[in-house]
Amino acid sequence: MVNFRIGRFDITIGNNPKIKEKFKGTVDSVGGEHKSRRYYIGEHSWASNCNKFERMTQAYPLLKQGLLTLAGIVIPEGAFTAPAQKRPVKKSDRNSLSESESKTYALAEEAQWRVEKFNKDMRVNSVLYNTVYTMCKFGSCFWELTEEPKFAFRIIPNQETIEPATGDGVGNVTGWRQVIHGSPVAEWPAESIVHFAWNVSSSSWPYGTPFLTGLEEETEALLQMEASAQEYMHKEAWPYEILSLGNMENRIDPDDYAKAKTAWKNRKPGQGITARNIPIQLLKGGTGQNPLRELSELMTFMKDTIQDGLMVPAISKLYNSTEASAREMTSHIMTVLGQPIQWLIKEKYEEQVIKPYVESIGFSRKSAPELIFESSTSHKAEEAPFWKIMGELKVQTPEQIAEHLGLEYDDKYWIAKQKDEEEQMKLSQKTMVNAGKPADTTEKPKEKKSNVEEWVVKRLTDHVPD
């Protein structure tokens, strides 16, 4: 083994060559160089940002609709698991496998069943949906892990009060805390927190970037325009009445005028007002002359700008478009936003929840199942025509097709069906001989093409819901 150094690299040549190099980049908002430090309370608080985006979401329904739609697209069918895949082993290496290794992979289905039950007990579908919504709104979502009295997790309440407590020299947070009214009420090591963060940047660190970032001015301007439109309609677009009391010859005393004005304002709908020994006149107002067209066009433009920034089409855009366009818009959202968010959720959940959980119940991490976001039967109906052709062309056997589709192949059913067809063929040939026609023995009995189609349809009907 030979050790030598080239520049910053330590190189070892031997049985196990390695190149060693530490990460040098760091994230430090105050610009100081240090290996580790403790942050003072409020140094990296995101409470003001959370409150701002919460107000925006509640004030304008277009934003809330976009975030809820995105969360629904990311978690369309819920969360499912697939068992850990067995590592392919050559025949020559099969004897060298230890007994413990073979047992670990043999228990993959048992581990999957345990995780499925764990997910159901923890209501993982609704938790993941709320996680995506919170992460999109605030940029981050924090979970708390616990092992006492048993392994579990939850979304931490009051997300805006969570902030980093300690960190290392390369921008990693080593501890988190919750600060309420200026006082720490809880503190966790980084291993006890699952931090789902979207698009962390230098301006948002250590949190993710909210999806509404950059839409603050447009949203505020649109809210002001809507308020102005409401005020405009009240002043200009609706009929109004003016009560005129007195004239140049008959002046109204200021006290009497004040009383009449108060009575006029406080009158109930449909109730009139009376006057004595003074001329009185009721003037009918108009509906205004200035059109709202320019204001409406400006508001439409601002809505489209917000919609483009949010990247999620409004419901009105979907039902006013063609079916193909609506499908294309939904597919586009899934490609540019849905799938990347699914990758983030999958990596965090598998590494920080599923694998620690299977270890806590006595399984190996290698037997931990994989998280998927669609059921195993979701595409079977779409794949059926393809596998039907594969069966008819003899490219795939029925057993292989069943394995690909994740269905159980019924040997007894198809063996009995094949025997029945052979008997029917023999009976047909015997009938032809008795009728004086030569039996065609040069050609083997052909398998009916409908058999494969019947098998695929039968199995899909048993397993795929309508």
Side-chain-side CA neighbours of 353 within 13 Å: the count stands at 25
Contact 74, 132 (CB under 8 A): yes
pLDDT recorded at residue 237:
64
In the sheet where 152-155 sits, what is the strand order? Answer: 152-155, 140-146, 193-197
Rg (CA), the chain: 36
**Rounded CA gap, 252 and 245, in Å?**
7
Residue labelled with tokens 């920034």:
309
**Rounded CA gap, 199 and 197, in Å?**
7
3 state SS for the chain: CEEEEECCEEEEECCCCEEECCCCCCCCCCCCCCCEEECCCCCCCCHHHHHHHHHHHHHCHHHHHHHHHHHHHHCCCCCEEECCCCCCCCHHHHCCCCHHHHHHHHCHHHHHHHHHHHHHHCCHHHHHHHHHHHHHHHCEEEEEEECCCCCEEEECCCHHHEEEEEEECCCCEEEEEEEECCEEEEEEEHHHEEEEECCCCCCCCCCCCCCCCCCHHHHHHHHHHHHHHHHHHHHHHCCCEEEEECCCCCCCCHHHHHHHHHHHHCCCCCCCCCCCCCCEEEEECCCCCCCCHHHHHHHHHHHHHHHHHHCCCCHHHHHCCCHHHHHHHHHHHHHHHHHHHHHHHHHHHHHHHHHHHHHHCCCCHHHCCEEECCCCCCCHHHHHHHHHHHHHCCCCCHHHHHHHHCCCCCHHHHHHHHHHHHHHHHHHHHHHHHCCCCCCCCCCCCCCHHHHHHHHHHHHHHHCCC
Question: Residue ranges per domain, the chain?
Answer: 40-87+100-211+311-375, 216-290, 380-463
Mean pLDDT, contiguous 10-residue spans, the chain (466 residues): 61 59 64 73 93 91 89 89 72 47 65 93 95 95 93 95 90 93 94 95 92 88 81 68 77 84 80 74 62 72 82 73 74 87 95 94 91 68 72 76 70 76 81 65 50 60 54
pLDDT recorded at residue 347:
95
